[in-house]
Structure 1
């Protein structure tokens, strides 16, 4: 098993950022990927969707507070974007290369994840079988990201690293966790 902790950093902004911390851990055991995000801090300024009883696939989750991660096959241009909403909605997209050939990944019909909200924190945990998209023998590279929408409509972008002049989660040189 390969288990790593992470801490996300906000992309530089001219606006003041809320007092937040986004951290967690990620592990790959054979071809099961487990990721856990912990969001802590002052939630008064953040727009977080209330958990829904209906968990369904939805598009454009990144327009609101959304936990994301990207999985790429080492030495390949192909990668996947996983979007997880605190409301329970989700989606997975496949790309042939950098922002090219975006398609909804139909290998996944459900992404079972849990969300626990408290007054000063929120935790999201997902366990996903990667056999649907990569073999257990293939090395993967992962980028972990989060979009935070503020109550005033401002959006901030959080990632392990920001390698571009603008916030861009799709840059392959930001897929820095190897599993």
Structure 2
């Protein structure tokens, strides 16, 4: 299991976040987000039944996984909400197409999503994506990020922030290679 201290774009001492990635089988990705919120500042969404697909999850507390392809422009963005809602988006290149909401990706499957006492965990099957794009797991690199909403502000966490502004779509900040 690979773990990463996720960094807030605007430094905060109130909330800490650790992200983890594990690949127990070919095309299966498990992600975990462990949150340290001693003052209980985070606004969590109420749970909904099942795992519905919903857009605009990033407007509230949302955990994200980006799936990039080595030497290619295409990528996927997966949004995971504490409500158990989720969504996957497909991009041909950096933030393109520019439609809002972005174009849904149906080649990523959610196996499980859980809000835990310590944060969020999810299991995803990317085998349809690998098959349709004729890729191997070794062609994939991943980025973890999160939008954390509190009553005072929105915090933007990522593996790293290499730009002058927070930009989760910046592939330079996706640091995990499968």
Fold shared by both chains (TM-score > 0.5): yes
Q: Which deviates further from its counterpart, 140-149 or 52-61? A: 52-61
- Are the equivalent residues in 2 in contact too, given 1:18–1:42 (CA < 8 A)? no
Partner of 1:168: 167
Provide the rounded CA distance (Å) in 1 between the counterparts of 2:13 and 2:60. Answer: 16
Distance 1:52 1:43, change over 3 A: farther
Q: Structure 1 residue 49 and structure 2 residue 48: aligned?
A: no
- The normalised TM-score by structure 2 is 0.87
Provide the rounded CA distance (Å) in 1 between the counterparts of 2:114 and 2:146. Answer: 16
Instruction: Trace 1:35-74 onto structure 2 (pairs within 5 A).
Output: 35-74=31-70
Provide the rounded CA distance (Å) in 2 between the counterparts of 1:54 and 1:156. Answer: 27
Contiguous gaps of at least 5 residues in structure 2:
none
Q: Which deviates further from its counterpart, 141-150 or 126-135? A: 126-135
Q: Across the two proteins, how many residue pairs are aligned to each other?
A: 169
Partner of 2:115: 115
Q: Structure 1 residue 78 and structure 2 residue 74: aligned?
A: yes
Provide the rounded CA distance (Å) in 1 between the counterparts of 2:137 and 2:62. Answer: 30
Q: Structure 1 residue 27 and structure 2 residue 25: aligned?
A: no
- Are the equivalent residues in 2 in contact too, given 1:27–1:34 (CA < 8 A)? yes
- The normalised TM-score by structure 1 is 0.86
Paired residue secondary structure (2:127): helix
Q: CA RMSD in A?
A: 1.8
Provide the rounded CA distance (Å) in 1 between the counterparts of 2:109 and 2:30. Answer: 18
- Are the equivalent residues in 2 in contact too, given 1:72–1:80 (CA < 8 A)? yes
Instruction: Trace 1:141-152 onto structure 2 (pairs within 5 A).
Output: 141-152=141-152
Contiguous gaps of at least 5 residues in structure 1:
none
